Amino acid sequence: MRSSTPKVLHEICGRPMILWPVTAALEAGAGRVVVVDSGERATEGVLPEGVELAVQERADGTGGAVRDAIEQLGEGLDEGAPVLILSGDVPLVSAEAISELVAAHTTSGAAATMATTVLEDPSGYGRVVRDGDGGVLKVVETKEQGDSTQAEREIREVNTGIFVFALHALRQALPRLSSDNAQGEFYLPQVLDLLRGDGALVAAHEVADERLVLGVNDRVSLARVGALAQKAIHERHMLAGVTIVDPSSTVIDVGVSIGQDTVIEPFTSIRGSTRIGAGCLIRHSYLLDCELEDGTGVGPFGYLRPGTVLRAGSRVGTFVEVKNSDIGPGSKVPHLSYIGDADVGERTNLGAATITANYDGRNKHRTTVGSGVRTGVDTTLVAPVTLGDDAVTGAGSVITEEVPPGALGIARQRQSNIEGYARREPSSPKPS
């Protein structure tokens, strides 16, 4: 990845890569989930509650990683229970695909079942070698020339890195793995060879949709997998009744929820855990970790930052930024404004270039704006300050004190005109 960030912590549609397979396993009904990490414990802070961490002090291959995960599981388990192995860098595997794989394994009575797929370009993947009857003979790695033959490298059916084992079979095989290969590592697929040698059944389950088993090894494949994930997110929302005018120019994170009959116009990004109600209109805007109730509107060129709540029927317009603020039902911030750390009542209209001065250089302060308030153009509200219900401010005012309900607040210097100013002789020659 050429990155200081561990590969599995690179994000795909707003979710760290490692959480994609973890989430799929949980949705498929996994009883316990164990993530194997290095001694740096990079994933520890992002794992959901209940997901266990097995620390591998020295990386020694996929076989070594599974060995440490099995040790984490401990004793006292059903030895015939299926153990699913997923790869942290194969993010698009779905809960449905996992369920199908586990069902195929259980039905066949196999000691091990591997998920395979056929790729046009299998470069970098381990190849599945079958016997004359179509059974799995072995999996050969192709990272180094010494691990495979030319004929094996021409095979297009690949190991996806997804396996199901009977627990007792896996426990018996792992201690017998060998690191006698070009990488000097313990390869998990060697377990299949050992089980076949023991006379156990090794099965394969081909996954038709290769997108579900694509791995990430660099920024190019990260972008490719991200595009596939984004397409699936768009389709999920559109099938649920959301209009996305141009999916190719729209970014929506996996954690976003959107209600029916909402319209998302082009060049919009909706990130984080943003929640959007029904019947909303989002035009060319950026939304992050905010909440929009039914019938709200944003944009064009709106920027909603974390903690923003737009109540039903409210609107944030052109070139408006809102941060950590609650905009009341039916209220409007039409254009050219910054509203930060504010509570705004219902049916209020904040005129063009209304600014909340919420930071004094050390601390953030809140602004309270009542219901039915109208601020004049170019009003600055210096927090902490309160505008009562139905209050009005004059254009160009800098409001530093409370404006009582129904009052007009004006805070600006009186205008003075200098007669004849334009006809004055210049005090210095004009530039030629």
In 3-state terms, what secondary structure has residue 53?
strand
Widest CA span in the chain: 107
Neighbours of 413 (CB within 10 A): 6
- Which residues are tagged catalytic? 335
> What angle, rounded to 10 degrees, do the helices at 19-27 and 95-108 form?
60
Q: Would you give the end-to-end CA distance of the chain in angstroms?
A: 59
- Beta carbons of 92 and 225 less than 8 angstroms apart: yes
Amino acid at 294: D
Q: Are 212 and 205 in contact (CB under 8 A)?
A: no
SS3 341: coil
Identify the burial level of 57 via C-beta atoms within 10 angstroms of its C-beta, where 0-12 means exposed, 13-18 middle and 19 or more buried: exposed
Q: Report residue 414 as tokens.
A: 């009186």
Three-state secondary structure call for residue 19: helix
Q: Are 312 and 277 in contact (CB under 8 A)?
A: yes
Count CB neighbours of 249 within 10 A.
Answer: 13
Could you give the C-alpha distances from 63 to 245, 265, 290, in angstroms and in order? 47, 48, 43
* Three-class secondary structure of residue 192 per DSSP: helix
Which two tokens mark 391?
Answer: 């209050």
Between the alpha carbon of residue 88 and those of residues 36, 62, 216, the distances in Å are: 9, 11, 9
Q: Exposure string (b/e) for 289-310, b if CB count within 10 Å is 16 or more?
A: bbbbbbbbbbbebbbbbebbbb
